[in-house]
């Protein structure tokens, strides 16, 4: 009787060990299946987060280029150099070209006699495209108020989440940068602004 008990106890121990091993191997496969179900959503969200960060960085880059160009106009250097619209746009483009494509850049600069006379329109048309009429180049003279706006059309790449990343009806994201300032009295015969 002692032999049968030890034999059945030994067999039961082996069966329990085999059952634990089978359960452990079964759980390995379930983790792979669970990851396969969650991976597309995870990678989609990850792509959206990365693209949102890149759009933010592009906006910061464009704002820096706009501020630098605005300083060039505000101090009268653009007027003294008789800078053309193409040269001015190339100046802005030189600051963003390492990151953004200059073909999608649009620059609009308008001068006003004072802040109360400043008037500007929406950068987009009702169709959702960027207004091509916003392509002015008026650096103004000393003491003029100048509004410089730059527009960059970013093509959103992340599928499904593009609805959350776009701000234009065309399915793109419009990145804008603005600088409003009064030109310095860079002409010596002007007493003050």
Q: For residue 108, give the 3-state DSSP assignment.
A: strand
Domain assignment present for residue 95? The answer is: yes
How much is the pLDDT for 177? Answer: 96
Strands of 73-144, DSSP E: 105-112
Domain assignment present for residue 52? The answer is: yes
Domain assignment present for residue 131? The answer is: yes
pLDDT band, residue 189 (cuts 50/70/90): low
Q: For residue 147, give the 3-state DSSP assignment.
A: strand
As for how many domains the chain has, the answer is 1
In tens, the pLDDT along 112-158 reads: 988 888 888 889 888 888 999 999 999 999 889 999 999 999 999 88
In tens, the pLDDT along 41-91 reads: 999 999 999 999 999 999 999 999 999 999 999 999 999 999 999 999 999
Domain assignment present for residue 7? The answer is: no
Q: For residue 119, give the 3-state DSSP assignment.
A: coil
In tens, the pLDDT along 46-59 reads: 999 999 999 999 99
Strand order of the β-sheet with 145-155 is 105-112, 145-155, 172-182
How far apart are alpha carbons 2 and 8 in whole angstroms? 10
pLDDT reading at 187 higher than 80: no
Q: Which domain holds residue 173?
A: 38-182
How much is the pLDDT for 26? Answer: 61
pTM: 0.78
Cβ count near 190 (within 10 Å): 12
Domain assignment present for residue 55? The answer is: yes
Q: End-to-end distance of the chain based on CA atoms, in angstroms?
A: 114
């Amino acid at each position: 009787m002692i032999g049968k008990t030890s034999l059945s106890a030994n067999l039961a121990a082996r069966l329990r060990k085999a059952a634990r091993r089978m359960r452990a191997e079964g759980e390995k496969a379930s983790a792979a299946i669970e990851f396969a179900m969650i991976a597309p959503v995870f990678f989609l969200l990850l792509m959206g987060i990365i693209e949102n960060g890149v759009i933010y960085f592009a906006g910061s880059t464009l704002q820096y280029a706009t501020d630098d160009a605005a300083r060039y106009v505000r101090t009268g250097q653009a007027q003294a150099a008789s800078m053309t619209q193409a040269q001015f746009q190339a100046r802005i483009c030189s600051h963003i070209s390492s990151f953004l494509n200059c073909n999608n850049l649009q620059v609009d600069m308008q001068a006003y006699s004072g802040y109360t006379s400043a008037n500007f329109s929406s950068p987009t048309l009702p169709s959702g495209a960027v207004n091509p009429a916003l392509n002015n180049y008026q650096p103004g003279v000393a003491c003029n108020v100048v509004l410089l706006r730059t527009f960059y059309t970013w093509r959103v790449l992340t599928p499904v989440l593009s609805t959350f990343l776009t701000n234009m009806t065309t399915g793109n994201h419009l990145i804008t940068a603005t600088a409003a300032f009064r030109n310095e009295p860079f002409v010596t015969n002007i007493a003050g602004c």
